[in-house]
Amino acid sequence: MKQYITHMPERSQSCRKQAATLCLSAVITALLPVTVHAGSPEFARTSEEWAALQDNVLEYNELADLIHEYNVTVQNNQYTYNKFIKDYGRTKTDVADKYRELAEDLEDDRTGEDGAGRITDYQLEQQAKQLREQADDNVEDSRTYQLTYAKAEDSLVQSAQSNFISYYKNQLELESALETKKTLENAYSLAAAQRQAGTVTDTDVLDAREAVLNQETTIANLEQTIENTRQTLIVTCGWQGSDQPEIQNVPEVELAQIDAIDLEADKQTALETNYTLRINQIKLENAENAENKENIQKTIDANKRQIGVSVTSAWQSLNTARLSYEQAISDEAAEERNMTLAQQKWNAGMITKYDYENQQSTLASKKLAVQTAQLDLLTALENYRWNVNGLASAE
């Protein structure tokens, strides 16, 4: 059985500190969720590659490798796949033969007795019949299982990318919320001063104060969301939720990457890589019954149409995200000009401190909007890439 080595990131108080070579089945049998071993043998990677995965730093471009090596779901799926091959074989014929063998075993267990024994025998005969029907209709083999688990792994990577981006996007939302709180506090201070002057009521002051308190609640909720997202992300990559790996910045999107996209070529690639379509094509290859073949072929035709729609939709969303990003940059530039003008007026004594600080807050919000739009653009680009590389919706 394949051995799982102990190459693992050296996390502080992490589950990867122990050094013992165990196969995956032993890990599962021992029920030690705090021990996560790499899913590949040592020779599968260079020492430099292992070292990069063993540090206490989480980088965006490491997500796929970390999940492949340390994600528990991926390792369990690999164990299940290996067990399937051991128990049922690799080909459609192997699987069908195993079903028939199981049917024969059930029939051998019949007692031939009257009363309760007769009922038991009938149940065994029905189960054996079902197994033989499964054998006759079987279109699965080790390839369909392997593709199913490969799809699951890629979906985990896609989810991790989304959480990685959300982790930073939520932090930008927190910064924006803090800026909003400053503005609300300024409004509260102004309302209090105006109340002293008799130009507003007590209700106006209380409303301004309540707005500040509500914003503090928003900030607290965002802080909790950030922590929840952080924990989900690092656990997916093999750390414990209590660990504190350094999470590096997300990569910036270069617009030239989008300009270089060939939509029609990518649609063809999506048809070649799509997991659902490939699985159904194998099922068609394995099918023997004419009616079954016809139904699978209809499913494949629908898969192909839907994949094209999915890629096109992802492409449109990417372009929309790009326009939003470019608009955010334009809005920031306009607000920079407003800030320059406000600075001049402030120096000349033409505006109040309240107005000047509000302009500063507005500019800060526009800068955060640019960063948020860039994260949205990265999300859209990754979604398009996954559509092209196997995960386009096919149903």
Structure tokens at 138: 């079987």
- Segment 15-52, tens digit of pLDDT: 332 322 233 333 333 232 334 688 888 989 999 999 99
What pLDDT score was predicted for residue 129? 87
Mean pLDDT of 217-241: 97
Provide the 10 A C-beta neighbour count for residue 3: 12
CA distance 345 to 353: 11
Lowest mean pLDDT among 5-19, 190-204, 264-278: 5-19
- Segment 89-134, tens digit of pLDDT: 999 999 889 889 888 888 787 777 766 666 677 788 888 888 888 8
CA distance 47 to 129: 54
Containing 246, the helix (H) or strand (E) segment is strand 246-247
CA distance 337 to 318: 29
pLDDT at 333 over 60: yes
- Segment 293-313, tens digit of pLDDT: 999 999 999 999 999 999 999
- Segment 276-295, tens digit of pLDDT: 999 999 999 999 989 999 99
DSSP 7: -
Helix axes 353-386, 290-347, angle to 10 degrees: 160
pLDDT at 1 over 70: no
Band of the pLDDT at 2, cuts 50, 70, 90?
very low
Mean pLDDT of 170-187: 94
Strand partners, 247: 58
The burial class, CB within 10 Å (0-12 / 13-18 / 19+), for 373 is: buried
Strand partners, 22: 4
End-to-end CA distance of the chain: 36
What pLDDT score was predicted for residue 381? 98
Distance (Å) of CA 323 to CA 34, 318, 328, 376? 46, 9, 9, 11
CA distance 197 to 8: 67
Sequential DSSP letters for 33-96: TT----SS-GGGS-HHHHHHHHSSEE-GGGHHHHHHHH-HHHHHHHHHHHHHHHHH-SSHHHHH
CA distance 155 to 178: 34
CA contacts within 13 A on the Cβ side of 125 = 9
Which of 89, 80, 61 lies closest to 148 in space, CA to CA?
80
Q: Which residues contact 320 (CB under 8 A, 6 or more apart)?
A: 380
Which one-letter amino acid corresponds to residue 48? E
Mean pLDDT of the chain: 88
Q: Are the CB atoms for 312 and 263 separated by under 8 Å?
A: yes
For residues 53, 56, 58, 63, the Cα torsion angle rounded to the nearest 10 degrees is 30
Counted residue by residue, the chain has a size of 395
pLDDT at 378 over 50: yes
What pLDDT score was predicted for residue 20? 29
What pLDDT score was predicted for residue 137? 83
What pLDDT score was predicted for residue 395? 87
CA distance 384 to 267: 11
Q: Give residue for tokens 């990754």.
A: 382
DSSP 115: T
- Segment 234-280, tens digit of pLDDT: 999 999 989 999 999 999 999 999 999 999 999 999 999 999 999 99
